[in-house]
Structure 1
Amino acid sequence: MLIVSGVLEAVWATALGRSEGFTRPVPSVVFAVALVASMGGLAFAMRTLPLGTSYAVWVGVGAALTVAWAMWTGEEQVSVVKVLLLVGLVGCVVGLKLAH
């Protein structure tokens, strides 16, 4: 549930960027739906996982996927350093989850 919520965080973050200040209806609706679902999943996960771990995994998954998607679509420049940092971020998120 927590990983799915992190994926939805990347969805709402991307939709927010594409909504152009909520002037475009489709990305604005995608943002709102994904935001509510993402927060709901995070809240559900926090019922059994510690706050710090839950939040760190949620943010880490969302941040890594948002940057990866932006690089994949050409909205952000790809570099070896960025890719290595994303790999490190994902490794840390996995480590936090496994350490629980």
Structure 2
Amino acid sequence: MGSSSQAIRYLVATTGAGNIDALNRVLADLCTRSNPKDGAALTLRLLVKKEACDLSGEAFACLMDHLYELITTFLDSNEVSENLGALRAID
């Protein structure tokens, strides 16, 4: 798909900026050394489930690609909080 910025622009155009912002907020809530905000993992699950119903197949695939890219970035990070956030998102 080219560069990641092109992918993000395409993703925002097809899914809406609100969906990306919500996804980024939930992942930020999961990225903490202490316990994450109450319900952050459930919120991520419900967000993905809602988008699966609301978006077209292609737009949902782009959203999931963005999620997987963020999780991979967090796993590769040297920050423990980001590593924990990625593991919580996977769980």
* TM-score bin (small chain): 0.3 to 0.5
Per the normalisation by structure 2, the TM-score is: 0.42
Larger Rg: 1
